[in-house]
Amino acid sequence: MGRRGFYLSELFKIKEPFYPILRRGIELGRSWIRKEYQQKPLPLFLLWKGILKYLLDNPHYRYMFGPVSISNNFSKFSKSLIVDYITKNHFDYELAHYVKPKNKFKADLSAIDKDLLIESSDSLKDLDSLISDIENSHIKIPVLLRQYMNLNAKIICFNIDPKFSDCLDGFLVVDMQNIPPEMLEKIGKNF
């Protein structure tokens, strides 16, 4: 089965130097929270708690990886701002050499002075407010993406997924050794 056994291989071209991470990690596939439980913190917290418990019980797994989706409900401009922010703050350029998108996202910030706009958005919280102001529906950066960033996750590539409503997927990698201790303590209470 090898790398083709991973869902990510449908979205990204994975080169051999990345295989050690695949061997020492678990893939987090797509997850959904039922509509009536969305916007509530407990379901996502319990999901994280279960994943963390599994990883702590199986310390030979060091990494979590998988797609993190940004809905096509966002304008291309907002998606471009999110990609620009992540590329500057949460991107792993070394690992990016080993993974390429099958359908590359082409950011478009040419119509504005993005540096001036993003200058006031130097944190994820600021960017979230900016995106909410830009979007007619006032949607915000996806909760899972924000949660991953709080775990010091890195994105190594972006892809458009035509089989998933043309959403923008970031190839996400979380190194258990880089998760802030206070986050591990918060999620891991009562183990």
Amino acid at the residue 185: E
Q: What is residue 62's DSSP assignment?
A: -
In this structure, what are the phi and psi dihedrals at residue 5, rounded to the nearest 5 degrees?
-75, -10
Given a cut of 90, whether residue 73 has pLDDT beyond it is: yes
pTM of the full structure:
0.86
Task: For 76-88, give one letter per residue: b (16+ CB within 10 A) or e.
Answer: ebbbbbbbbbbee
Count of domains observed in the chain: 1
More confident residue, 116 or 37: 37
Overall average pLDDT of the 155-159 stretch: 97
Q: Which domain holds residue 104?
A: 2-188
Q: Is the pLDDT of residue 122 over 80?
A: no
Using CA atoms, how far apart are residues 185 and 191, in angstroms rounded to an integer? 10
